[in-house]
A and B are shown apart, each in its own frame.
Chain A
Amino acid sequence: AQKITQTQPGMFVQEKEAVTLDCTYDTSDPSYGLFWYKQPSSGEMIFLIYQGSYDQQNATEGRYSLNFQKARKSANLVISASQLGDSAMYFCAMREEGRDDKIIFGKGTRLHILP
């Protein structure tokens, strides 16, 4: 069974609009971490943001914020004021810290920002 589910294979968003990328996860481990990575067409993997399962507040990093809804096992990435350079693949990932700490990724969402 998929542990990380990203239901949007592709999205088109107008420049300057906000965009939400969906991520749901499945774990019985009470201690886990959630990550978002960006992969532009150049192929590099860029770390964006992290949320720990015990963090009381939603994580924010500049234009990126994570809408963490623990009961729903949801960790959506919100990008405010999108820019053309935000066009890329976005991956949600999870580390189950009570297990062996391996990090697994979702299948990704390809985001296209339109001028």
Chain B
Amino acid sequence: DAMVIQNPRYQVTQFGKPVTLSCSQTLNHNVMYWYQQKSSQAPKLLFHYYDKDFNNEADTPDNFQSRRPNTSFCFLDIRSPGLGDAAMYLCATSRDMADGGYTFGSGTRLTVV
């Protein structure tokens, strides 16, 4: 089945230690998104890639970076995680920007200790 896979499901990192979250897709979708969802909050868009074009949200902290080396993979890098970065990180894909029916991965739960 075509899908979006996030690894790992759970990630524990130390305060200030760089961490990378991974997302892969077999849908061949053009757009990949990263959302951050804190407890009882709405998923918040951090950035997205349309093909190789990177689009950062204005309020996404500089601490968060992303890479998309090819169509299938997208990475979320947190350079110096703080306690406030503990959250569920959701990767999603869509065929194009006008396609609102996103396909989400199962998410990575990040804990910062």
The finding on whether chains A and B are genuine partners in a shared complex, rather than unrelated, reads no
